[in-house]
Structure 1
Amino acid sequence: MTLQHISSYAHGEWIAPGSGARTIADAVTGEVFATAGNDALDVAGMRDFARGKGGAALRAMTFHERARMLKAVALHLDGHKDALYRLSYRTGATLADSRIDIDGGIGTLFAFASKGRREMPDGHVYVDGDVERLGRTGRFLGQHVHTPLRGVAVHINAFNFPVWGMLEKLAPTLLAGMPAIVKPATASCHVTELCVRAMIDSGLLPEGAVQLITGGTGNLLDLLDCQDVVSFTGSADTAFALRSAPHILRNSIRFVAEQDSLNASVLGPDAAPGTPEFDLFVKEVHREMTTKAGQKCTAIRRILVPDAHVQPVIEAISARLAGTVIGAPDLDGTQMGALVSNAQKRDVLDKAAIIAGEAERVHGDPEAFEVSGADAEKGAFVPPMLFHCADPERAERVHDTEAFGPVSTVMGYRDLDQAMALVNRGGGSLVASVITRDPEVARRVTLGAGAFHGRLYFNNRDSMAEATGHGSPLPHLVHGGPGRAGGGEEMGGIRGVKHYMQRTAIQGSPDILTAITDQWAPGATEIEGPAHPFTRRFGELEIGETFHSGERQVTLDDIEHFAHFTGDTFYAHMDDDAAARNPFFPGRVAHGYLLLSFAAGLFVEPDEGPVLANTGLDGLRFMKPVTAGTRIKVRLTVRKKTRRTPDYGEVRWHVTLTDQDGDKVGEYELHTMNAY
């Protein structure tokens, strides 16, 4: 049989395996089919290529251009899924497993592309938070901003998700404007390589934006500095060895880790046998034990149930596991495939033996189980194994040993306080799930276990039709956890993008901040436009362009008419004596929403024009009561522009209402969509 060569992609070239190459075996047959790795790979050149080519090209793009690039890559990969599925069978993954990996990874690209367009500017600087006024007169301001780091992100990924594991790191990295060197686990790097080839062949990525190492990284980590980032997924021991290297510590190199996790699932005290919640719990546990053959960092390793329900839970889970078809992953009907390698099989069995020292195996005999369409001895097959720990408080190893396969342990609890203490014995986990319909149980779990978990997943009959599952990280929410889980927070929407940027506090005048952020800061220079701003198209408007309205006097008839017309007859607007007794008002005052309506009347241009829609407002505040006889006027300033489509863009306007004394009576940000 001719061995396949799983190549690396370095400084724009595909490089075949060479000295130090390792073999890769089919998880189902045990047959060696490929080699990967090359000790002579020029990792220093890869770092320089990423910085000099990839980083420069990405930083020249705006956040929106990078977001559109991610979407285009996702669409391109969507046409290569079938080839990736077929190759993924060699890792022991079923079609359902591969869809989680491949479709999930592509979906993550789509999600970050969408969030980048909706939540980030069409520019090069990401503004974080509000402007801080640092001086009495507002002439000296502060603002936090994020800009891309100038180094390279080194992504060291685990074997279990060769596509999703790569893409969930690449999406925020590339969106931030930083190039990446991807290092997948050797056991499944052939799937990663095929995905990278598709991305490179698409021509959608700038040269140097993504490189690939299929094998060891050599001395790459020793070449990094404070502008680089290491993002690692794998075992706690490997993470510790990497992140504690003197060079990493001395240079304060960012190290994001997602590692071992003894995740737990808790059956709430209210979820007794016969309830929809009990059935849901059993279904979730079974799914997490068998999906990817339990090779998921978020899989349920510890199953906590009320003491009275231990036996019914064991019986129900065992019954579902007994009906699970184990076999060749490409066969119809197979529900659970093989582990990724025979080495991984040996490790799972060794860890299961450790757990067996404190718990009784109640289902699944690794010496006697059936496999369909494959040889159980040659392939990396194990059965789902369920254990029962009768004394979880005195046990140690069930709380610190992760058998990274279809292995989980049931343990009873007497009350919710004990359940939380046991859950937290995991020492920090990626996720804990609680199946309950009792809001008070959910609140107590959050307060009792939130500090030990990156994610808490609650589910019951009300939410289960839409729930994504205990073990499904989402690009919108952080994926990580404290302590044993590594202390990292991957994804999390724009939070994940910030891992690859530097947050900088800038200080200066309003004009300086406006120039840096491309957002008008209060007090900055106002620009007088050639015409009413509502008559000017998106591309014609300038940041800082300002319109000053004429005055309008607020009368008592206005206040009463508005009250009766809207039904808002609150006493502060209708009863002078009652309003005067209120410490905030001098007497009857105008409605805040009346002022808002009058403001619109003062600045709106009524004729058809480039303003397509008013889409909302933010930050509405009323600062000074307005009584009858007060004259108000409006200042309307272009604060921020974001192009949404080739045809239109969003304009955010800073709106200030003042009275005849020049005092602010109201302020807000108006959003409109304007034709380009």
Structure 2
Amino acid sequence: MNMIPFKGDFIDGRFVLPRAGSERAVSEDPGDLDRPVGEFTFDEAAVDDAVQAARRAFGPWSKRSTKERTGYLIRFRHILKARASEFARLISREMGKVLSESKAEIARVLAKLDSARREEADLIRSTVHPIERGVVGRLRFRPRGVVAILSPFNVPAYLASAQIIPALLHGNTVVYKPSELTPFVGQFIASAWKEAGLPKGVFNLVQGAGVVGQTLVSHSNVDVVIFTGSWAVGSKVQEQVSRHPHKLCALEMGGKNSAIVCRDADFSVALDETVSGAYLTTGQRCNATSRIIVEEPIANRFIDGFLRRVNSIAIGYSQDLNAWMGPLVSEKTLKRVEGYLTRARAEGFEVLREGGRFDCGRKGHYLKPSVHLRRHFPNEPLQDGTYTDDEVFGPDVAIYIVRNLDEAIALNNRSHYGLVASIFTKSKAKFERVLREAENGLIHWNAATTRSSGRLPFGGLKRSGNDRPVGFFSPYVCTIPTSSVERALL
């Protein structure tokens, strides 16, 4: 495959190449390192140009009717649908996930475009409340202004679009920074919005590494920051934003997610859902299953079935239709995961299935799925930098054996994170108990931790977020609720 030409940042309605001497980088195909996706350059100086363009465009754009703004979304949808196959191949090539996952991701973007202008719009409709004779109270939602969106590499089209779409629909302007690992996915998105005919400055794209993101987050003319990524980076984003009290900040920062398998679980459902939860996207999901907590009476039977299914996972190149799991996104990521696997042994875990690099006939960042076991409840304090407590973000899962649901819930809550918990049981009462007691923002019943819906809010507790759930609740992040007490004098 040929390298893709780099167009530059997208600012004020046109692509602009960074100035001479800017930093240069290469976007890899993580599954075929002999065929890079393309070279790109970046310069944090472009951030100010992008933010100023967005600020200039905000007034005119916010004054347009919702019907007018919806028209641009509909045109974007038509463009995306027509080029869906091309876009899916690009996502898989640049990020490494298998083609079926990329196609499903684009389908979610199309669904988001539909739900944003239908169901989600109902969340922020104006309401009127009588107060006294001749006086009413009215609640309206106004756009906030310039929205900075920093999106991750793992679901690069959907997680970016899920924030861009509501921000634009409700009258905001956008400066979008994609991951430096998926710059050409970002370029594709910008090209589609350009083709949709958005007015100049309404949507802007800046490319680059962390320094570009830091410059964007700290810019005084940004009103909203929406970040999806690791806790380590997200906590720095929050620190920077705290210096600007006017900015709203929404953070989604990963998880150490648990699947609790009770003794009355449907085995087939539990096995299928936990395998997909642990290894979908090669484990590179904030909602991936990190821990499977199994009740002792069924532990041996569950482990045998789980290992049989893991042994059948087909690893391969992203464009290979027979592959179920692709490579990790980078050599840095692969080495980090390998480090956690080494630490697992030192922390007392049994190795049920060895990880290690995998040769699929191409030079890439391939790693075999691994499984670890711990037979006793961890009583040591939570500690950063450990396999037990960190988010591994790779094709690995730890199985814990517990005596009962009390221990299972306690182990689920023993975490710095609080994104997703799933429970597999036929008992609604057990599920409702987990709903009450689990310290998570998302709680599933007989469904993988990776299950989600654009028609539901998405966000976690503790290090997983800052109580600004997005997903279906995105309109609340990019609008200002405004109350009025009104007396009409005729």
Q: Which residue of 2 aligns with 1:10?
A: 11
- Deviation string, structure 1 residues 285-305 (Cα, Å, up to 9, x no partner): 111222211111111111011
Q: Is the 8 A contact 2:355 2:368 kept in 1?
A: yes
Q: Which residue of 1 aligns with 2:194?
A: 200
Distance 1:283 1:72, change over 3 A: same
The one of 155, 162, 166 equivalent to 2:156 is: 162
State the one-letter code of the partner of 1:505.
Answer: S
Q: Which moved more, 1:323-332 or 1:193-202?
A: 193-202
Deviation (angstroms), 1:219: 2.7
Q: Is the 8 A contact 1:6 1:190 kept in 2?
A: no
Q: Which residue of 2 aligns with 1:36?
A: 40
Q: Which residue of 2 aligns with 1:84?
A: 87
The one of 151, 163, 168 equivalent to 1:174 is: 168
| Distance in 2 of aligned mates of 1:39 and 1:259 | 26
Query: Structure 1, unaligned stretches of length 5 or more?
Result: 272-276, 460-466, 513-524, 526-676
Deviation (angstroms), 1:503: 1.5
Quick check: 1:49 aligned with 2:56? no
Question: Mapping of 1:220-231 within 5 angstroms?
Answer: 220-225=216-221, 228-231=223-226
| Distance in 1 of aligned mates of 2:286 and 2:278 | 11
Q: Is the 8 A contact 2:12 2:202 kept in 1?
A: no
| Distance in 2 of aligned mates of 1:350 and 1:362 | 17
Q: Is the 8 A contact 2:98 2:318 kept in 1?
A: yes
The one of 366, 372, 375 equivalent to 2:356 is: 366
- Deviation string, structure 1 residues 478-517 (Cα, Å, up to 9, x no partner): 1111111022444343x321211112222232x38xxxxx
Give the superposed CA RMSD.
2.3
Q: Is the 8 A contact 1:268 1:435 kept in 2?
A: yes
Q: Is the 8 A contact 1:57 1:206 kept in 2?
A: no
Q: Which residue of 1 aligns with 2:480?
A: 502
| Distance in 2 of aligned mates of 1:61 and 1:356 | 60
Distance 1:485 1:60, change over 3 A: same
Deviation (angstroms), 1:261: 0.6
| Distance in 1 of aligned mates of 2:130 and 2:233 | 42
TM-score, normalised on structure 1? Answer: 0.67
TM-score, normalised on structure 2? Answer: 0.91
| Distance in 2 of aligned mates of 1:257 and 1:120 | 21
| Distance in 2 of aligned mates of 1:292 and 1:25 | 17
Q: Is the 8 A contact 2:50 2:206 kept in 1?
A: no
| Distance in 2 of aligned mates of 1:70 and 1:278 | 43
Q: Which residue of 2 aligns with 1:242?
A: 237
| Distance in 2 of aligned mates of 1:57 and 1:8 | 23
Query: Structure 2, unaligned stretches of length 5 or more?
Result: none
Please give the secondary structure, in 2, of the residue aligned with 1:426: coil
State the one-letter code of the partner of 2:107.
Answer: D
Please give the secondary structure, in 2, of the residue aligned with 1:27: coil
Q: Is the 8 A contact 1:112 1:475 kept in 2?
A: no
The one of 98, 108, 117 equivalent to 1:94 is: 98
Quick check: 1:391 aligned with 2:376? yes
| Distance in 1 of aligned mates of 2:273 and 2:155 | 20
Q: Is the 8 A contact 1:176 1:498 kept in 2?
A: no
Deviation (angstroms), 1:209: 1.8
Quick check: 1:484 aligned with 2:480? no
- Deviation string, structure 1 residues 356-377 (Cα, Å, up to 9, x no partner): 333222113315x4x43x33xx
Q: Is the 8 A contact 1:142 1:507 kept in 2?
A: yes
Distance 1:488 1:65, change over 3 A: farther
Structure exhibiting the larger radius of gyration computed from Cα positions: 1
Quick check: 1:127 aligned with 2:126? yes
Q: Is the 8 A contact 1:106 1:167 kept in 2?
A: no
- Deviation string, structure 1 residues 502-541 (Cα, Å, up to 9, x no partner): 12222232x38xxxxxxxxxxxx8xxxxxxxxxxxxxxxx
- Deviation string, structure 1 residues 417-445 (Cα, Å, up to 9, x no partner): 21111111123422211112211101111
Deviation (angstroms), 1:403: 1.0
Distance 1:361 1:4, change over 3 A: farther
Q: Which residue of 2 aligns with 1:290?
A: 279
| Distance in 1 of aligned mates of 2:66 and 2:179 | 30
Q: Is the 8 A contact 1:154 1:230 kept in 2?
A: yes
Please give the secondary structure, in 1, of the residue aligned with 2:33: coil
Q: Percent identity?
A: 23
- Deviation string, structure 1 residues 372-396 (Cα, Å, up to 9, x no partner): 3x33xx3110011111112233254
Question: Mapping of 1:428-507 within 5 angstroms?
Answer: 428-449=417-438, 452-459=439-446, 469-493=448-472, 495-507=473-485
Q: Which residue of 2 aligns with 1:610?
A: none
Please give the secondary structure, in 2, of the residue aligned with 1:392: coil
- Deviation string, structure 1 residues 184-237 (Cα, Å, up to 9, x no partner): 11111212211221221232x232221111214263333225x61000011101
State the one-letter code of the partner of 1:343.
Answer: K
- Deviation string, structure 1 residues 138-176 (Cα, Å, up to 9, x no partner): 444433321111x31111111111111111111221122
- Deviation string, structure 1 residues 555-596 (Cα, Å, up to 9, x no partner): xxxxxxxxxxxxxxxxxxxxxxxxxxxxxxxxxxxxxxxxxx
Q: Which residue of 2 aligns with 1:186?
A: 180
Q: Which residue of 1 aligns with 2:118?
A: 114
| Distance in 2 of aligned mates of 1:2 and 1:69 | 30
State the one-letter code of the partner of 1:131.
Answer: H
The one of 75, 79, 101 equivalent to 2:78 is: 75
Q: Is the 8 A contact 2:50 2:205 kept in 1?
A: no
| Distance in 2 of aligned mates of 1:66 and 1:268 | 49
Please give the secondary structure, in 1, of the residue aligned with 2:423: strand
Q: Is the 8 A contact 2:72 2:196 kept in 1?
A: no
Please give the secondary structure, in 2, of the residue aligned with 1:284: helix
Quick check: 1:153 aligned with 2:121? no
Deviation (angstroms), 1:33: 4.1
Higher relative contact order by CA 8 Å / sep ≥ 6: 1 or 2? 2
Quick check: 1:346 aligned with 2:339? no
Q: Is the 8 A contact 2:374 2:399 kept in 1?
A: yes
Distance 1:481 1:116, change over 3 A: closer
Deviation (angstroms), 1:21: 2.1
Deviation (angstroms), 1:46: 1.3
| Distance in 2 of aligned mates of 1:403 and 1:39 | 31
Q: Is the 8 A contact 1:428 1:482 kept in 2?
A: yes
Please give the secondary structure, in 2, of the residue aligned with 1:22: strand
State the one-letter code of the partner of 1:13.
Answer: R
Question: Mapping of 1:408-423 within 5 angstroms?
Answer: 408-423=397-412
| Distance in 2 of aligned mates of 1:236 and 1:356 | 25
Q: Is the 8 A contact 1:268 1:436 kept in 2?
A: yes
